[in-house]
Amino acid sequence: SVALGSLCDNIEVDPKTGDLWMGCHINAKKLFLFDPKDPPGSEVIRIQNILSDQPVVTQVYTDDGGVLMGSSVAAVYGGKLLIGTVFHKALCCDLK
């Protein structure tokens, strides 16, 4: 169990590293009471070493809803991060 402070939706496992990638909702209330004038934000969290006593939690992406509303899934492949949403579109980012 790892406290994240965010409402996590789907969990993807990187088959090469075992890292967990999650599309999360920063503010669950905004997600459920959708208002296009005050959209729900997006967050992607990565957890490394989940089976250890000291898992490493990293906030990889965050947005207030201006670019991406309601992220629900995140997956990595070939140096790219793909973020899917509940509401409207997806985002592909380069990982560094």
C-alpha 33/C-alpha 92 separation (Å) is 27
Q: What is the pLDDT of residue 34?
A: 85
User: Tens of pLDDT along 27-52?
Assistant: 888 888 888 899 999 999 999 999 99
Tokens of residue 54, six digits: 């000291």
pTM over 0.75? The answer is yes
pLDDT of residue 11: 95
Quick one: what percent of the chain has pLDDT higher than 90?
69
Strand ranges in 1-96 using DSSP code E only, listed in sequence order: 7-13, 20-25, 42-48, 56-63, 71-77, 80-85, 91-94
What is the per-residue pLDDT across 84-94, written as a single tens digit (0 to 9) for each? 998 878 999 99
pLDDT given for residue 96 in this prediction: 79
